[in-house]
Amino acid sequence: MEYYFVLGKGGVGKSTISILKAIALSQQGKKVSLISLDHAHNLFDILGPNKGSLPRTLKIFEPDIEKFIKHYLQSSEQLLQKNYRYLTALNLEHHFKILKQAPGLEEYGLLLAFRHFWENRARKSEVLIFDMPPTAIALKFFSLPFVSLVWIEQLLKIRTEILQKKEIISKIKFGKAEIETDAIKKNLEQQLIFYQTMAQLLKSKHQCKIVLVANPDSVSLAESNRIKQRLFDLGIEIGEFYLNKYQKKMPGLNVSRVFKGNVRKIPQAAGGLVGVEALSLFLNECSAELI
Ligand SMILES: Nc1ncnc2c1ncn2[C@@H]1O[C@H](COP(=O)(O)OP(=O)(O)O)[C@@H](O)[C@H]1O
Ligand SMILES: [Mg+2]
């Protein structure tokens, strides 16, 4: 399994590069899933109506992120109501109405959608390409597993202490310790494993490629530099760097400051890049850069 996450400033060509890459890899005979993790999906808009000529090994998805969030909130509400029915003073319903607006839910929705494809499509595809949303939310998505790990490790510590105290009390009361499996501890341990595996995946240069797309202009290059730094702080490295909409004469452009490794140059297309035909034609020019 190979994973690609395509990142960059808005409008640089993330979705276009994701599509070109997906077509190029599936033309090589690989089973590819291309998934938009941008709330404002536009993969199908870029592909246009004639999708029949796309390789059969390529599957494209625009998941409803809101649906993942709704489902998560509903199941959390049910779980809490079941476990804390006696806490009427807490007014759970009111809490959940507010939670819908909570900060962090947007990126958590992305994480749930990613998890869905990671766990379910992994068996059917060889390559998963994620077309990411604009920088701010994409970076939050990447930091989420690392932040969650800090929280979960602390919560597990607290839960373990609570259980140890419970054990002491039950020893005093009943003369022997009750051996019980604690549902909360089990849930935390499962979450710990999920986030650890996800963090490992994001850091694995062998399995996971972070694809950074920029244009040959100082603004998108500056943003790319910040993305690279922020990911580096999390222990994640850029795998591929694309300079999209490249034109031959570009004096004073300092790309090497942002990316010292191999720069993949994708030229500025003369016509538009909308529709399978235009994309396939363009791919003939630059497929080597995309695989
Ligand atoms: N190499 C290219 N040459 C010409 N136009 C391009 C190229 N790459 C992308 N575009 C155009 O740039 C615009 C933004 O591309 P898009 O892929 O939607 O960017 P993003 O997903 O980063 O917001 C679209 O109109 C697209 O057709
Ligand atoms: Mg896009």
State pTM to two decimals.
0.93
Q: Which of 273, 276, 284 is the best mutation target for the ligand 1 pocket, counting ligand atoms within 8 Å of the beta carbon and taking the most? A: 273
Counting from 1 in the atom list of ligand 1, the atom nearest the Cα of 42 is 18
CATH of the domain at 188: 3.40.50.300
Q: Whose CA is nearest to atom 12 of ligand 1?
A: 13
Provide the token pair at 13: 């060509």
List, chain by chain if needed, residues with CB within 6 Å of any ligand 1 atom: 8, 10-16, 42, 244-245, 266, 268-269, 273-274
User: Does residue 273 surpass a pLDDT of 80?
Assistant: yes
Cα separation of 134 and 9, whole Å?
Answer: 6
User: Does residue 260 surpass a pLDDT of 90?
Assistant: no
* Confidence band, pLDDT 50/70/90 cuts, at residue 172: confident
| Average pLDDT rounded to a whole number, residues 193-213 | 97
Q: What is the pLDDT of residue 257?
A: 66
Provide the token pair at 267: 């030229």
User: Does residue 5 surpass a pLDDT of 80?
Assistant: yes
Tens-place pLDDT, residues 21-67 = 999 999 999 999 999 999 999 999 999 998 888 999 999 999 999 99
Q: What is the pLDDT of residue 258?
A: 67
Neighbours of 246 (CB within 10 A): 18
Count of domains forming the chain:
1
Q: Whole domain around residue 207: which residue ranges?
A: 2-290
| Average pLDDT rounded to a whole number, residues 268-273 | 90
Distance from Cα 15 to the centre of ligand 2, integer Å: 4
| Average pLDDT rounded to a whole number, residues 141-151 | 97
Counting from 1 in the atom list of ligand 1, the atom nearest the Cα of 282 is 1
What residues have a C-beta under 5 A from ligand 2, the ion?
14-15
